[in-house]
Chain A
Amino acid sequence: MIESVSGTGPRLVLRGIVKRYPTIVANDGIDLTVGVGEIHAVLGENGAGKSTLMKIVYGLTRPDEGSIEWEGRPVAISSPAAARQLGIGMVFQHFSLFETLTVTENISLALDAEIEPAALASCIRDVSRRYGLPVEPHRLVHGMSVGERQRVEIVRCLLQSPRLLIMDEPTSVLTPQSVLKLFETLRRLAGEGVSILYISHKLDEIRALCDVATVLRGGKVSGTVQPRSETKDSLARLMVGSEIEPCQLRPRQPGPVRLELTGLSMASEDPFGTSLQAIDLRVREGEIVGIAGVSGNGQAELLAALSGELQVADRGQIRICGQAAGNLGPAQRRELGLTFVPEERLGRGAVPAMSLAHNAVLTGAHFGMVRGGLVRNGAAREFARATIAEFQVRGGDERSAAENLSGGNLQKFIVGRETKLAPKVMLVAQPTWGVDVGAAQMIRQALLDLRDRGVALLVVSEELDELFMICDRIAVLARGRLSPPVSTAELTLESVGALMSGGANDAPADDASPGPGGREAKARLDV
């Protein structure tokens, strides 16, 4: 009797979940039902309340109101340990692995019972073989690619034999081929009766993988749909609440070379970093060149070398507007016409505790904001006000501290500030990381406008869709080597993915080498 109830009823039911934070209501009366063996998408923009909801299900935070039912019984999930006891596992977006420990050690820390390391290692091998998740138990995590780390996380969850698996933005760091492998694993798990909550904002993936989708907007459910019978646009409308204007890449003849890298090589100072190896690249006036690739393949090192935070011995390896600049510091490079939007907004793009006006002075000193060594506060405030108005920065004025703005609004301010400094060359790292769809669209449009005004732009991003949208040419950075840039029109997601996993280089690809299964599964993604 009881068995038939747990066999046919839903696995998890959330009713009227409310979670309030001091400034916002993150979840406002959310209902959600997940069936046995169902892959259930939770779709929404950044800040829509997806992560808060998952934290509630996994016991990391408690709801202010509402009830949770697990396999027909009302439960209170007070801690992650309680969630695991029930059979709930979670794979985090930002991996929750300990870098300096081995795979076995990492996994043993997540298990409640103590198992002999040798026995655990063989369990890990069993599970990884069964689900096609190659993992080497004795390796240290720090040397692993993101794909391998995710496999470790999944294996860790599977060893707890979960009945509900939460995947938080699992594909944000994977190459397209690894994504397809992951989908195969998830489908197999669902076939065995495991329910999956799949958190994402990527519409294609959800349409390819999920049975049901609950769409969140502003902390509320804006719709529960069957993604396979929806279009990408109808899902986007549910998610954003309005139509999105696609950006336009107008054909344009690029001008002379503005940024030139010739055989740029640099050993990484960080022992776990990636050394740059003989990078050649030319960015011309009026074009956007995109650098694709999974973070940790030399992105940080390349950006540091280009911005001037690190200098290269051979000054001719970097030329900005024709001038050898390899040995110049960031300020001198800015004088040559370079501006830079770094990946870390707080701490690199802006000083967290300082006002937006003072943050404007930091890179715009030569723009009339400093005279005779003294800060002209009036000019700085005027500049910040103009940037705020022009780029629709919300949630603060020129006197607000940078740290009090949301990520998206601060990014708009930083992009605006760098744009208004009349750059000739602009470097942009992860332009829309963690930014909601509306703001992302606006930032992309701003970059395209710069291109049309004749600026040479270099964009480093992990979001392939974004690079395909705005770039004239795309190159791939893998293991410190840069592939020759190719015109975007001649590229497919798949060909870029192959380069990302190192397929074009002689280095062996340990991560999702594009096997024969890749093409087959790609067809499924295109449904």
Chain B
Amino acid sequence: MTTASAYMSVEQMIPILVSTLVAATPLIYAALGELVVERSGVLNLGVEGMMLIGALAAFAVGVSSGTLLLGYLAAMAAAALLSLVFAFLTLTLQANQVATGLALTLFGIGLSAFVGRHFAGLPIHAMRPLVIPWLSELPGVGALFRLDLLVYGSIVLYLAVDWFLRRTRAGLLLRAVGESPTVAHSLGHPVIRIRYLAVMFGGATSGIAGAYLSTALTPMWVEGMSAGRGWIALALVVFATWKPLRVLLGAYLFGAVTVLQLYAQGFGLNVPSEMLSMLPYAATIVVLVIICRDPTTIRLNQPASLGKSFHPDA
């Protein structure tokens, strides 16, 4: 490692950094959305399914209409619609959130595979990078300013979620609902409506995450192309102890290890490639588990009502 880094110049570092940012982007969208959902006290395990539906919707609409913007809108709408089904089942009909979320993932995987057969192998024009004038012409670091709009968007989303949760009254209300829906209800706040909105926000961002996979990261449709990223997003939220900044850093860690293990495979390390492919998942979880051992942080940030049904009349 020391010898490798000794030879690594800035010119080599920048591409790695760029790939890291890109690889982390879908995770950031999915995990920040799920963070908002969980902060309201709802556990939606359907992220993987919603990402796949979003990926397919964006690809299908993008290919048919030739406009990626329409594809993204379709991805958000489709995934939000799926999350609306989840919200109806768990919030209105009081179904078990874990079971319903798992069903949602299975449904999303199956439906996207079924509908997606017609789109496999079709070409799509990948998203064009947003070139920031002047900055992008800087030597070396310029590459950081020639990325997709959605990479910058992910950072904006992080800032917005953090500001929303910390500074706004609506964010305070959301956290309060996740902490104790009974108390929030007794103070006269619309618990169910707030949770509906949170779940649909999470659905929409999962849709964007999926869309990014099929239109930017690997511009094509492949069955099951989210490859467990929805589950990693869920794990990120938990191990980041429901803090947006930690979600962001966890996603970058995942992205960095993903890129580095590709380089390692390229160098022809004598390690089975399956082991290396596993590395980002293992490393992210191990690091986050070590960070989040402090029980006080967990108690203060974990939504106390997470995963529990709430009935206003009980």
Q: Which residues of A contact B (CB under 8 A)?
A: 59-61, 79-81, 84, 92, 96-101, 105, 108-110, 114, 140, 142, 269-272
Contact = CB atoms under 8 A, between A and B. Distances in A.
B189 A109 contact: yes
B229 interface: no
Nearest to B296: A271
Contact of A101 (B172, B186, B299, B313): B172
Given A80-B186, A98-B180, A271 B299 contact: yes
B301 A81 contact: no
Contacts of B301: 100
Contact of B187 (A61, A96, A114): A96
Interface in B231-249: none
A98 B188 contact: no
B184 interface: yes
B186 A96 contact: yes
Interface residues of B, number: 21
Interface in B12-66: none
Contacts, number: 58
B176 A271 contact: no
B169 A100 contact: no
Interface in B56-111: none
Interface in B275-310: 295-296, 299-301, 304
Contacts of B183: 96-98
Given A59-B188, A97-B183, 6 more contacts: A98-B175, A101-B175, A108-B172, A109-B189, A110-B187, A269-B295
13 contacts: A80-B186, A80-B187, A98-B179, A98-B180, A99-B179, A99-B180, A100-B179, A101-B176, A105-B176, A109-B184, A110-B187, A140-B300, A270-B299
Identify whether the interface residues of B are mostly helix, strand, loop, or mixed.
helix
A114 B169 contact: yes
Identify whether the interface residues of A are mostly helix, strand, loop, or mixed.
loop
Nearest to A95: B183
A108 B182 CA distance: 17
B176 A109 contact: yes
B295 A271 contact: yes
In the A-B complex, the 7 residue pairs with the closest CB atoms: A81-B188, A80-B188, A271-B296, A96-B183, A98-B179, A271-B295, A98-B176
Contacts of A99: 179-180, 304
Contacts of A79: 188
A108 to B, nearest CB: 7
B185 to A, nearest CB: 8
Nearest to A58: B186
Nearest to B303: A100
B161 to A, nearest CB: 18
Contacts of B124: none
B172 A109 contact: yes
Contacts of A272: 296, 299
Contacts of B186: 60, 80, 92, 96
B173 interface: yes
Nearest to B295: A271
B244 to A, nearest CB: 16
Interface string B168-209: 010011011001101110111100000000000000000000
Nearest to A80: B188
